[in-house]
Structure 1
Amino acid sequence: MKDIVVSAIQMVSGDSVAHNLARARALLQQAAAGGAQLALLPENFAHLSGRGSYAVAETFAGIDDAGSEGSGGIRVGENRASAEQQPIQHALQRWAAELGIWLVAGSVALRERADGSATEGSRSRSACLVYDDRGRLRARYDKIHLFDVEVDDAAGRYRESASIEAGNAIRVASTPWGDLGLSICFDLRFPELYRALAMAGAEMLVAPSAFTHTTGQAHWMTLLRARAIENGCFVIAANQGGQHSPNRRTWGHSAIIDPWGQVLAEADEGEAVVTAKLEAETLARIRRQMPLLSMRRL
């Protein structure tokens, strides 16, 4: 791993895709101006409301040939996203290239699987997309664990599986600074996913999220620190953070955490850009002193 400056972008996204994209771009500009080389957007950054998080879905634009190495089955050689047909993906490509940063788009609703086949029924995939600093799509991860739970808040019940088809494969993206393990929100509660990412070479883990205020207040930071400590990885977590609708409130507290579990930077609620430097020596020292991955017995 090499030293890298990263930013976690915290948003309070709503119904308007145009407004959300404008806010995302402004926050990414702030991150780039602050020296970020890689920035992470939260889950549902382009659309989040009380009426359903995935009402806005696009056709998958595919991945550039240059990004095909280690892409895990993502189809290659497709045309790049168009402003008319794939406005969200087009914006992400443009921002990454214009700002000269690697951009991890927390989640985008896509109508196709990575191999180009159609999803089941009317459901979409919740995909985390990784763009390099030239705007090329380098990796795609489809959310595996879906939020089908009951929560003691204004919404009461969440059923992501009604509109989302679960993914079935882990994904580690190669970057110039090290390997990046991809996950989305509810995945945080399943430690076996992160152990698999770490064993596949991940040195940094991303957790773009829209944790509810109730569950976030109870478990958010505990889960983030545990995933960092038990796998000896840096964790970059970008959360939604505020009131989205009368029955939808998220926790915020986006954070960047080192492999010892130390919180390097943390937001409160509302829009925020959280930035920190991840030092390669910190990772090497902690993994050398406590080689957890090589000491496993189960």
Structure 2
Amino acid sequence: DIRFPELSRLMALEGAEVIIFPAAFNMTTGPAHWELNFRGRALDNQVYTVGVAPARDMESSYHSYGNSIVVSPWGNVINRMDEKEGYIIQEIDLEYVKKVRNELPLLKHLRRDLYTLSKN
């Protein structure tokens, strides 16, 4: 659930370095929010985010935005598709996650004394 930042944060705090989100944004929310959400979650949590979307089928009742995407822990889009059927092959450098987290230790600067997230 890319729209709920707490889920990504909990996974990052548990040590996640790559978070894969299956999602099917529509033709209204996709152009407006798809890339923004994936870049934001990647940057906020210093993880790779991968958005896996169905291809667009204009003959179906639901028109998916498509546009599967891979975003780096720095928030850069490093690979993406369009709305057509296909797949992405992308090398993921887990050492880069460590580098980003060492150079800008956002997760270490959390003020857990002010708020908490729980898994219950």
- Same fold (TM > 0.5): yes
- Residue 232 (str. 1) matches residue 46 (str. 2): yes
What is the CA deviation profile of residues 185-228 of structure 1, one whole-angstrom value per residue up to 9, with x for unaligned ones?
xx111101110111111111010111112111110000001010
Gaps spanning 5+ residues in structure 2: where?
116-120
2:86 aligned with 1:272: yes
Q: Does 1:282 align with 2:96?
A: yes
In structure 2, the partner of 1:219 is: 33
1:243 aligns with 2:60: no
For the pair 1:202 / 2:16, whether they are aligned, the reply is yes
Conserved? CA contact 2:68–2:82, under 8 Å: yes
Alpha-carbon distance in 2 for matches of 1:280, 1:198 = 13
Tell me by how many angstroms 1:241 deviates: 2.5
Matched to 2:39, the amino acid is: R
**Alignment map for 1:48-197 (pairs within 5 Å):** 187-197=1-11
For residue 236 of structure 1, report the CA deviation from its aligned partner. 1.5
Query: What amino acid sits opposite 1:263 in the alignment?
Result: V
Asked whether the 8 Å contact 1:211–1:240 carries over to 2, the reply is no
The alignment partner of 1:188 has SS state of coil
Structure 1 partner of 2:76: 262
CA distance in 1, matches of 2:108, 2:58: 44
Write 1 or 2 for the structure with the bigger share of helix.
2
Instruction: Give the length in aligned residue pairs.
Output: 112
Which stretch of structure 1 is more off in the superposition, 250-259 or 276-285?
A: 276-285
TM-score (norm 2): 0.87
Q: Percent same amino acid at aligned positions?
A: 35
TM-score by length of 1: 0.36
Q: Whose radius of gyration is greater, 1 or 2?
A: 1
CA displacement 1:52-98 (0-9 Å, x = unmatched): xxxxxxxxxxxxxxxxxxxxxxxxxxxxxxxxxxxxxxxxxxxxxxx
Give the Cα separation in 1 of the matches to 2:87 and 2:55. 12
In the TM superposition, what is the alpha-carbon distance from 1:274 to its structure 2 partner? 1.2
